[in-house]
Amino acid sequence: MNKIKVSELKLNPNNPRTIKKGKFERLKKSIKEFPKMLELRPIVVDENFVVLGGNMRLQAIKELGIKEVHYLQENELTEEQKKQFIITDNASFGEWDWDILANEWDNVELKDWGIDVWQPEEEVDYSVLDDLDLGSTLGDKEAGVKRAIQIEFEPEHYGEAVLLINQARKNGKNVGLITLKAFKNLK
């Protein structure tokens, strides 16, 4: 496995992923507690040492003062393939089996490792809402609420679909209306 000076790697300015402060702190903590993970999941870079996979890890590594890191360099990707890799590397295709997590794993450890898990809440007294009549208010508000439909794509079309949807949204297009019109044309 190749190692490189962290100073030679470049954060990707076009990385569409962000991380909130709390999760970023948990990421740093996990790197400190389990540094072997950096070897098991190396930073993926292109021919110019720009990060394609591992932008958040690289930010955490820099803040932790780590000087060298394992990396994997891919020199033969087209610009389109680089974009697709960035998205698919960060896409969560699987789902958690919450029953197994709840029964076989420790809640606190899961949270420390970056998984948002259920935490017991304080007792809340909802009785103050008993005398309120929210029926008509909720009905009025519901009329203007957008709704979503999930559309499934084969893996080989997913990256292209994401790019086209984002491009349409940037251009001020209503993706839902475009989809509805396309389905009407199928009749």
d(CA 26, CA 176): 37
Closest C-alpha to 47, from 17, 22, 79, 70:
79
Contact of 51 with 45, CB cutoff 8 Å? yes
The per-residue pLDDT for range 87-100, each reduced to its tens digit, is 888 777 777 787 88
What pLDDT score was predicted for residue 44? 95
d(CA 70, CA 41): 8
pTM: 0.57
What pLDDT score was predicted for residue 91? 77
Paired sense of beta strands 68-73 and 2-5, if any: antiparallel
Question: Mean pLDDT of residues grouped by 10 in the chain (187 residues)?
Answer: 93 87 90 93 94 94 96 91 86 77 82 72 71 69 74 85 87 88 86
43: helix, strand or coil: strand
